[in-house]
Copies of this chain bind each other. A is one copy, B any other.
Amino acid sequence: MKNRRYVLVQHTDRAPIADCVEWRTETVAQPGPGEVLTRTLLLSVDPANRGWMSSNPPSYMKGVAIGEAVRAISIDEVVKSNDPEFAAGDIVEAMSGWQDYAVAPGHALRKIEPRGDLALELSLYGLSGLTAYIGLMDIGRPKPGETLFVSAAAGSVGTIVGQLGKAGGCRVVGSAGSDAKCRWLVEELGFDAAINYKDGPMRKRLREACPAGIDIYFDNTGGDALQSAVLLGNERARIVSCGLVSRWTAENPDQGIKGIPGLIAMKSMLMQGFIVFDNLHRRNEAFGLLSRLVADGRLEVRDDIVEGLENAPKALTGLFAGENMGKRILKVAERSAS
């Protein structure tokens, strides 16, 4: 039994990662006392995967060391367990990273009773769903009749945010990077309007799409979308600082946003970030609500599946290039017949 894996060989602070990882085939490790050997079925492809490769990683989690597998959230099947809480065949959420097999202490795994398609455990019932729910409900606090603008609206979090906003009675406007995505948002997901940011500066089109201004901006990108939202924000507008996809590949990622702090103060606006890992204890609250909306036909999820562990770097690079519609997931292996 061989373990195929991508290990980190060089830290990086930029989007291109091909030179920073190396494909290796090694012997599968055996679990020690209290440990569990798992086989990777699905890998979550997230902007954070790249952040963890940085030499200066975000403060909430330590970075990946040289020689370790690239870190990613996974859905695994238990192969062999030395922890009485787990048995072979169990499905677990883990942090196995870009490899076929991983060994982890039992306390680092979370047993899952799949609600349907296993991929949903990484999208709607994973960090994407929790991020959308916490950011929109706790910071955005939507009220019926308000205008919600969400950037990277066709992405894993944006699709859920927009549909949650619609379910809550908001006018919802999204931005995305292709006409096909914009059509999908409006025609399939029920957005009121969508803007292709590649058609040029956003402010004028956003003003047209938001005739009553912006009450909530769910920021997945920073950059031009944030700048426009600050300018078009209404009094007491809330800006949910969630991601900054635009910055990873930007020429000058530190360029400031005009009107901060002036317009924040003048318009009594709020801008707030949040760490989704602070909110893991609220999964039941979030996923209970999301699953009710799915059952009611008010929330639709599309997962963007890429096949094969060997394609992991390409899948991540493509995420920053905006290839995905919905949550990007790497499919590594099928679940064993049980």
| Contacts from A to B (Cβ < 8 Å) | 58-60, 219, 222, 226, 235, 239, 241-244, 247, 253-262, 264-275, 278
Contacts and interface: CB of A to CB of B under 8 A. Distances in A.
Contacts of A60: 235, 266, 268
Contact of A59 (B239, B267, B274): B267
Number of identical monomers bound together in the oligomeric complex: 2
Contact of A253 (B222, B239, B262): B262
A256 B253 contact: no
Contacts of A256: 255-258, 260
Nearest to A219: B261
Considering the complex of A and B, which 8 residue pairs feature the smallest CB-CB distances, nearest first? A256-B256, A265-B273, A241-B265, A270-B272, A241-B264, A271-B271, A254-B258, A264-B273
B241 A275 contact: no
Contact of A241 (B59, B219, B261, B274): B261
Contacts of A278: 268
Given A256-B256, A261-B273, A271-B261, A266 B58 contact: yes
Contacts of A255: 256
Contacts of A275: 235, 268
19 contacts: A59-B235, A59-B266, A60-B266, A60-B268, A222-B261, A235-B275, A247-B262, A255-B256, A256-B260, A257-B257, A260-B260, A261-B273, A265-B273, A267-B273, A269-B273, A270-B270, A270-B273, A271-B272, A272-B272
Contacts of A58: 266
Contacts of A259: 254
Nearest to A269: B273
A262 B235 contact: no
A257 B230 CA distance: 14
A59 to B, nearest CB: 6
Contacts of A257: 256-257, 260-261
A157 to B, nearest CB: 12
A178 B114 CA distance: 64
Contacts of A242: 265
Contacts of A243: 265
A269 B275 CA distance: 9
A219 B261 CA distance: 9
Contact of A273 (B222, B247, B253, B266): B266
